[in-house]
Amino acid sequence: MTEEGDRAKIIVRDRGEGFSEEAFARAFDPFYSTSDEGLGLGLPHARKVIE
């Protein structure tokens, strides 16, 4: 995270396999997960915190 004037800039990098087109389109949908173990709440929650 860096400061830019009165704003913060957050850069997110994906160093894994990446997202399929479908997963990318739905990445912030609550309860959407590509993992059998995931709840699908991490990215939607992170988005709310940032907003």
Whether residue 43 is contained in a domain is answered as yes
More confident residue, 31 or 50: 31
Whether residue 18 is contained in a domain is answered as no
As beta bridge partners, residue 7 has: 4
Structural domain count, the chain: 1
CB atoms near residue 18 (< 10 Å): 8
Q: Tokens at residue 36, please?
A: 């059998």
- Residue 32 and residue 19 in contact, taking contact as beta carbons nearer than 8 Å: no
Whether residue 2 is contained in a domain is answered as no
Each residue of 2-45: pLDDT tens digit? 677 888 888 877 787 878 899 989 999 999 998 888 899 999 99
The CA distance from 7 to 2, in Å, is: 9
Whether residue 51 is contained in a domain is answered as yes
pLDDT band at 50 (very low <50, low <70, confident <90, very high): confident
In this prediction the pTM is: 0.59
Whether residue 27 is contained in a domain is answered as yes
Q: Which domain holds residue 49?
A: 23-51
Whether residue 40 is contained in a domain is answered as yes
